[in-house]
Every structure is written in C-alpha cells, then in structure tokens.
C-alpha cells in the first residue's frame, strides 16, 4: 500500500472508470441523449425545412407563446421565495429539537408522499368554491361570497408550496442542525442576542445551503404542469411554459415546435441556476473561505 | 485590565425530566480565585458551568454576583467569557474578526477595536495570524484565539469547559501553563471544568469534586490529593488499593484496621465520622517493597503481573490473604517473586464505607 507503482495506479484508474460507468451511462441515456434529440428535433420544423430556427422565431414573435416565460417566472420565483423562507423559519426554530418533534416533522413532510394529482384534488376539495373552507366561512357568516382560492394563481401557489415545502424543509433542517451548537452558545456569551446570533453567525453559515435549496426548488417550480392544469387557470393566468409545450405536442401534434419550447424552458432554468451558482460563489467567498476545506 | 468581582454565590438544582443532574450544588467563589469542577463525564460539571454562563436555566436556586441575582439574565447580559472544548470559533470569520466579534457588538470605535484585538493577539502570541481563518490554524492556536476572543471583553468571570481535551498530551501541558499564567497576570476569576485530575491539581486554588450532580468534596488541591474524604474522591485522585476494614479503638491519633487476616495501622483523621466499618486506601506509588524502618504494616505476597513503565514498574501482588495490591516501584521485581510490601502509616487514608468507587 505504501509503494504505488505505475502498473498499480493504472489498474486503479481502470477500476475507478468501471465504477463510474453506471452513472455515466445513466447521464448519457437519461439526460444527454434526450436533450440532444430535443435540440435536434426543435431544428426540424414540420414544414419540411431542415436546420431551421423557425420554431424559435415563431415562439419569440407570438405573445401568446412568449408570455408563458413571464407567467412561469411569476409562479416560480414567488413560490420559491415563499417555500425557502418558510422552511428556513421552521427549520431554524426546530434546529435544537422541539416537543413532539417526530410527529411534527412527519406531518410537515407527509405531502411529499401523496403525489401532485392527489394533492391537487385535495386542494380542490378543501379550498374550492364549494370546498370545506368556504362552506365553513359562509356557515360562520365570515364571508358572503366564496373565496376564489382555486382555478387561479393562488391555487397553483398552494399546490406548489405543498409539494416542495417538505423537501426544502428536510434539506434545511439537516443543514442547520449540522451546525455546531457551541457556535451559538459562544456568540451568546460574547454578547449576541438571539437575533444577532441568527444574522451574524448562523445566517452566513446557512447561506450556501439556502442557495442550493433555492436553486432546486426554483427548478422544480419552473417545470410546473399538473397543478397549473388542475388547480390553476391553464388557459390564462397560470399558462406555464410546460403547458405551452404540451399543447404543441399533444394538441397541435407539432413535436418539433414542442421540442423548441422545451429547450427554451431548459435554457431558462439553466440561466437561473447559473445565476444562483454565481451568487453562491460570491457569497461563500465572502463568508466561508477556508471552511470548504474541512 | 479585568473587571474583578468579589464573590460569586451559586446555589442551584438542575433536573432534566425526572433525572436530577445537579442536587443543591452550593458554592462560593471569591474574586481572582481559580476553581475547578472535577468529575467523570455525566457528573454535572458542564451543566453547572452552562447554568452559570446562562446557557441553561437552573430548575431551582439562584446565582448571585456580588450580591446581585443574575440567574434571570440571558448569557449576553452577564459579561462572562467562555472557552469551549471544541473552540467554537466562527468558521466564516478571520482570527481578527473572531476576536473583534464581541467588541463590534458593543459598537466600539474601529480604532479601539483594532488596538484591543492587536493587544490580545500579542498576549496569546498569535500576531501575524489575524487574517487566517480558523480552519487554517492548529488546535492549540484555535484554542488561543478562543481564549483571546473571551478575554478581549474584560470578562468578570472566565468559564472554561474542558478547553484542553481536544489537544494532544504535550500541547495540553503547555496550554495549561499558559492558562495559569493568563489567570494570574490578568487577575481573572476562573471556573474550569475538567475530568483530568492532573489539570485540576496544577491549575486550581480550589477543586470541587462532583459525582452524579452531588458535591463530593471541596478543597485545595493539596487537601483533595492528600486527604480525600471518601472512596470516590480517593479513586479519582489515584488511590488504587481499597481495603474494607473493621476499625479498632483509636490510640494517640492512630487506628488499627482489621481485614482478611491482615492488620493495618493508619492515621485517623480527626474529623472521621464513619462507624467501626471503614475503608483504608493507599496509592500504588506510596507502597514500598521490603521492610520499613518501624516494621509496621507489612504484607507478604506473590507478584502476579508486572508492567514496565520506564522509570518504574507497576505490579500486582496477590497477598497471602488473597487480596490484590497494586504498586509502583523502581525495584526490579518480576512475576512469581515472593515479596514483602510495606504500606507507610502516614500514606494510608481512612474513608467511610458509603461512597464506594463504582
């Protein structure tokens, strides 16, 4: 073990490559091929032209289509902020454990096991115009007209929040409870109140994890489709870019155009991810230089 | 340069659920005193320190600093300094910013912060390291930063929570001396938690020995070391041989103990309160091989085991009365030898039966 000859090293390399192979194949089959095929398909419009940007041109000249980008961002960004901040608040509060912790965590995390369709049906049943909430409110004479909480923007935000909160909460809880509790104690003894401990010690240490959570929740939100259809207004205020692609593919049977929309959607997610990664690098340089070496 | 105190009065009980981890702990700590809480893990010593720091609330009782109650104050309002076992430096701040943390919370002017931090770096001999991050320092350096970070605020009381446990043996002895020097140089009042008897003996003016949340003995290092009051403290202080005995009538300050066909003569402590049953204890290093001058307390036996320790050997001798005696001796003895041991009268302590070493 002490002496690594040339032969041994290359053997090790081959072994390492072999271990890499399954994940490499996975990325190739599940990501690279579909993505490349999508780009290829998007450049072969239905009218028979080969290698043409016509699909992209028509997307960006048609307000009905290009407005979906704004619609999707308008859903994804507020939802991401809401999810990450709520998860941060709760996870920070629970970092040292609380009464009935396991029960509470289970309740918070349960929606993850239900699936989007079931969740959306539940939202319709509870928050819908004739749902329990409105019946209770009307019965108690608190409102006259039922509240419009579904089949609009709010409904989709509800649904997205419930799907993504558990995941983000668990991730941040793990991240925050991993921070050495004596840092907090020492900051307290040095004169920091609870808020100062959060803002000057904990937040800088949580920020890298927070940005990762932000990136992941954003990407998931940006792909919103089932809830935008079921509890949203798929022809109007919640016509997300995924719906536009679906309509081209399965209502207009224009796979090429649909592929172009899917590629645009992917690029939007990529741009947002790059922005976050860039931000994370800048912030971590300022806050955690040297910590990464551990 | 430190804010001195006259007296810290602690009288606290702490329960976690139904478990009592500190049972009516009563302490008076005077200004400029170095007090050690000594005990095995789980004895409540760190809990006591955390309660004094304000990081844990006591279940009952009060803490008074110069007569004023402070147990309701949050830790940030107590003006204490604390040093942790794992250093607890802020990983996202440089050495300078770590030390300046408390001063910047107090909104001191930048020039004053710079001067005081520089003076501290100088004091803990880390000048030139101010731009480093904690992860770029060795364990000893990190602990020195942690000490500087606490001292720069001129704390009224310094609390040390096993600060040397994560360091290697050599560095531990060096840092121990540094802490001792800082304590007397700056006129600090310090409470120091440790499970290491050598640390407590070398540092303290006074040692408080705890077991299962109960104060077992309190006294100067010399008192604790030479005159432990019970078998638990004796065991912790390195006594290894415990003989259950029945005491005879004391004669002229001496008392005879009868055990398994042997008879041991010992000094009876004037305040001994146990009954006729007692325990006599002696350290391995106090036992001599061969006959003593006065011919008292001679035990014969066969050497069962010898461990070479460099200057000395540690040996186990099975006595003719089937007791086992641990001893340390520079003599060359080997397994199977028949030896005569002498147990010096003045080195034997007489302990009450309750509080056996577990």
**Who contacts A37 (Cβ-Cβ below 8 Å, separation ≥6)?**
none
Residue A100, classed as helix, strand or coil, is coil
A9 touches chain B (CB under 8 A): no
Quickly list DSSP for B18-45: TEEEEEEEEEEEETT-EEEEE--TTSSH
Q: Do B153 and A187 touch (CB under 8 A)?
A: no
Using DSSP bridges, classify how beta strands B157-161 and B60-65 pair: parallel, antiparallel or unpaired: unpaired
Nearest to B121 by CA among B95, B143, B140: B95
What's the average model confidence in pLDDT over A2-8?
Answer: 49
At B357, the pLDDT band (50, 70, 90 cuts) reads very low
A122 touches chain B (CB under 8 A): no
Query: How many angstroms away from the CA of A190 is the closest CA of chain B?
Result: 5
Between the alpha carbon of residue A284 and those of residues A22, A168, A205, B236, the distances in Å are 32, 20, 9, 48
pLDDT tens digits, one per residue of B64-104? 999 999 999 999 999 999 999 999 999 999 999 999 999 99
What per-residue string of b and e applies to B290-308 under the rule 16 or more CB within 10 Å gives b?
Answer: eeeeeebbbbebebeebee
Using DSSP bridges, classify how beta strands B324-329 and B313-319 pair: parallel, antiparallel or unpaired: antiparallel
pLDDT tens digits, one per residue of B318-352? 988 788 999 999 988 889 999 999 999 889 999 98
Nearest to B86 among A180, A196, A294 (CB): A180
Nearest to A190 among B50, B105, B133 (CB): B105
Query: How many angstroms away from the CA of B9 is the closest CA of chain A?
Result: 19
Q: Do A188 and B90 touch (CB under 8 A)?
A: no
CB contacts of A205 in chain B (<8 Å) are 91-92
Q: What is the rounded CA–CA span in Å between residue A241 and residue A65?
A: 8
Query: Phi, psi (5° rounding) for residue B264?
Result: -120, 135
**What chain B residue is nearest to A193 in terms of C-alpha separation?**
B76
CB contacts of B150 in chain A (<8 Å) are 189-190
Please tell me the predicted confidence (pLDDT) of residue A85. 97
Q: What is the rounded CA–CA span in Å between residue A115 and residue B357?
A: 60
Between the alpha carbon of residue A160 and those of residues A77, A79, A169, A200, A205, the distances in Å are 11, 7, 14, 32, 27
Side-chain-side CA neighbours of A200 within 13 Å: the count stands at: 23
Please tell me the predicted confidence (pLDDT) of residue A285. 56
Q: What is the three-state SS of B77-104? A: HCCEEEECCCCCCCCCCCHHHHHHHHHH
**What chain B residue is nearest to A191 in terms of C-alpha separation?**
B76
Residue B206, classed as helix, strand or coil, is strand
Please tell me the predicted confidence (pLDDT) of residue A90. 93
Query: How many angstroms away from the CA of B257 is the closest CA of chain A?
Result: 50
Side-chain-side CA neighbours of A97 within 13 Å: the count stands at: 2
Please tell me the predicted confidence (pLDDT) of residue A291. 40
Between the alpha carbon of residue B237 and those of residues B31, B169, B323, the distances in Å are 27, 19, 21
A63 touches chain B (CB under 8 A): no
Q: Do A188 and B75 touch (CB under 8 A)?
A: yes
**What chain A residue is nearest to B100 in terms of C-alpha separation?**
A190
Q: Do A192 and B105 touch (CB under 8 A)?
A: yes
What per-residue string of b and e applies to B196-227 under the rule 16 or more CB within 10 Å gives b?
Answer: bbebbbebbebbbbbbbbbbbbbbebeebbeb
**What chain A residue is nearest to B75 in terms of C-alpha separation?**
A189
Residue B3 Rama label (left phi>0; alpha psi -120 to 50; beta): beta
Residue B110, classed as helix, strand or coil, is helix
Q: Do A190 and B101 touch (CB under 8 A)?
A: yes
Domains in chain B, CATH or no CATH each? 7-226 (3.40.50.300), 231-352 (2.40.50.100)
Query: How many angstroms away from the CA of B12 is the closest CA of chain A?
Result: 20
β-pair partners for B350: B280
Interface test with B, best of A99, A189, A200, A294 (most B CBs within 10 A): A189
Query: How many angstroms away from the CA of B232 is the closest CA of chain A?
Result: 31
Q: What is the rounded CA–CA span in Å between residue A64 and residue A59?
A: 9
A210 touches chain B (CB under 8 A): no
Edge-to-edge strand order for the sheet containing B157-161? B80-83, B157-161, B190-194, B34-38, B206-211, B214-219
Please tell me the predicted confidence (pLDDT) of residue A65. 92
pLDDT tens digits, one per residue of B217-229? 999 999 999 999 9
What's the average model confidence in pLDDT over A136-155?
Answer: 90
What is the token pair recorded at B318?
């099975």
What is the token pair recorded at A149?
């909480």
CB contacts of A284 in chain B (<8 Å) are none
Quickly list DSSP for B277-319: EEEEEE-GGGPEES--SS--SEEEEEEEEEEE-SS-EEEEEEE
Nearest to B70 by CA among B20, B5, B25, B153: B5
Q: Give chain A's count of helices (H) and strands (E).
A: 14, 0
Q: Do A291 and B146 touch (CB under 8 A)?
A: no
Of A275-279, B71-75, B260-264, B335-339, which gets the smallest average pLDDT?
B260-264
- Here the contacts of A115-118 (C-beta below 8 Å, separation 24 or greater) are A116/A159, A116/A163, A116/A226, A116/A227, A117/A226, A117/A230
A235 touches chain B (CB under 8 A): no
CATH class of segment(s) A65-293: mainly alpha
Residue A266, classed as helix, strand or coil, is helix
In chain A, the DSSP E strands lie at none
What is the token pair recorded at B165?
């446990």
Q: What is the rounded CA–CA span in Å between residue B204 and residue B198?
A: 10
Please tell me the predicted confidence (pLDDT) of residue A294. 33
Decide if pLDDT at B128 tops 70. Answer: yes
pLDDT tens digits, one per residue of A152-183? 999 999 999 999 999 999 999 999 999 999 99
* Cβ-based neighbour number of residue B22 at 10 Å: 27
Please tell me the predicted confidence (pLDDT) of residue A292. 37
What's the average model confidence in pLDDT over A255-283?
Answer: 90
A192 touches chain B (CB under 8 A): yes
Nearest to B95 by CA among B80, B117, B65: B117
Nearest to B30 by CA among B149, B189, B261: B189
Q: Do B76 and A190 touch (CB under 8 A)?
A: yes
A207 touches chain B (CB under 8 A): no
DSSP B251: B
What is the token pair recorded at A100?
């009935």
CB contacts of A283 in chain B (<8 Å) are none
Mean pLDDT (chain A) is: 88
β-pair partners for B208: B37, B218
CB contacts of A289 in chain B (<8 Å) are 133
Report the percent of chain A where pLDDT is more than 70. Answer: 93
Decide if pLDDT at B105 tops 80. Answer: yes
Q: What is the rounded CA–CA span in Å between residue B214 and residue B26?
A: 10
């Amino acid at each position: 073990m002490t002496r690594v000859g040339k032969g041994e090293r290359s053997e090790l390399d081959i072994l390492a490559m072999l271990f890499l192979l399954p994940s490499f194949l996975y990325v190739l089959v599940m990501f690279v091929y579909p993505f490349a095929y999508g780009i290829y398909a998007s450049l072969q419009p239905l009218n028979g032209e080969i290698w043409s940007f016509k699909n992209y041109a028509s997307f960006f000249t048609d307000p009905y289509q290009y407005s979906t980008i704004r619609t999707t961002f308008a859903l994804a960004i507020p939802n991401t902020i809401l999810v990450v901040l709520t998860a941060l608040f709760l996870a920070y509060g629970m970092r040292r454990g609380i009464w009935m912790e396991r029960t509470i965590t289970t309740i918070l995390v349960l929606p993850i096991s239900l699936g989007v369709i079931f969740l959306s049906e539940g939202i319709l049943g509870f928050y819908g115009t004739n749902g329990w909430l409105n019946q209770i409110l009307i019965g108690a004479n608190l409102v006259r007209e039922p509240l419009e909480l579904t089949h609009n923007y709010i409904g989709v935000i509800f649904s997205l929040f419930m799907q993504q909160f558990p995941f983000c909460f668990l991730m941040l809880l793990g991240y925050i409870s991993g921070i050495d509790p004596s840092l907090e104690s020492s900051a307290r003894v040095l004169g920091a109140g609870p808020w100062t401990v959060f803002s000057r010690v904990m937040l800088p240490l949580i920020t890298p994890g927070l940005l990762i959570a932000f990136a992941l929740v954003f990407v998931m939100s940006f792909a919103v489709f089932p809830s935008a259809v079921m509890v949203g207004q798929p022809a109007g205020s919640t016509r997300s870019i995924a719906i536009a692609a679906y309509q081209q593919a399965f209502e207009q049977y224009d796979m090429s155009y649909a592929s172009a929309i899917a590629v645009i959607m992917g690029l939007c997610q990529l741009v947002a991810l790059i922005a976050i990664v860039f931000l994370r690098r800048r912030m971590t340089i300022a806050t955690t230089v040297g910590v990464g070496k551990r | 340069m430190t804010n001195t105190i006259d007296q810290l009065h602690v009288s606290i009980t702490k329960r976690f659920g139904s478990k009592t981890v500190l049972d009516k702990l009563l302490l008076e700590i005077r200004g400029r005193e170095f007090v050690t809480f000594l005990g095995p893990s789980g004895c409540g010593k760190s809990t006591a320190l955390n309660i004094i720091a304000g990081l844990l609330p006591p279940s009952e009782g009060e803490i008074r600093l110069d007569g004023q109650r402070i147990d309701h104050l949050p830790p940030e309002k107590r003006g204490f300094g604390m040093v942790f076992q794992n250093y607890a430096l802020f990983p996202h701040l440089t050495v300078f910013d770590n030390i300046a943390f408390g001063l910047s919370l107090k909104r001191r002017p930048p020039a004053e912060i710079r001067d005081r931090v520089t003076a501290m770096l100088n004091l803990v001999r880390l000048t030139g390291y101010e731009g480093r991050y904690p992860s770029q320092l060795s364990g000893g350096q990190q602990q020195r930063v942690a000490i500087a970070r606490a001292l720069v605020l001129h704390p009224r009381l310094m609390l040390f929570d096993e600060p040397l446990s994560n360091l290697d043996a050599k560095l531990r002895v060096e840092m121990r001396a540094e802490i001792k020097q800082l304590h007397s140089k700056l006129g600090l009042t310090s409470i120091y938690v440790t499970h290491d008897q050598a640390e407590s003996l070398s540092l303290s003016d006074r040692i408080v020995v705890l077991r299962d949340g109960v104060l077992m003995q309190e006294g100067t290092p010399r008192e604790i070391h030479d005159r432990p009051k019970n078998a638990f403290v004796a065991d912790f202080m390195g006594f290894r041989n415990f003989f259950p005995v029945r005491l005879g009538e004391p004669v002229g300050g001496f008392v005879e103990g009868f055990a398994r066909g042997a008879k041991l003569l010992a000094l009876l402590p004037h305040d001994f309160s146990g009954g006729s049953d007692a325990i006599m204890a002696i350290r391995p290093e106090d036992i001599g091989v061969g006959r003593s001058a006065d011919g008292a307390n001679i035990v014969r036996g066969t050497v069962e085991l010898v461990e070479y320790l460099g200057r000395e050997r540690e040996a186990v001798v099975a006595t003719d009365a089937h007791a086992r005696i641990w001893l340390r001796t520079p003599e060359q003895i080997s397994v199977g030898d028949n030896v005569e041991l002498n147990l010096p009268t003045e080195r034997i302590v007489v302990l009450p039966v309750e509080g056996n070493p577990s």
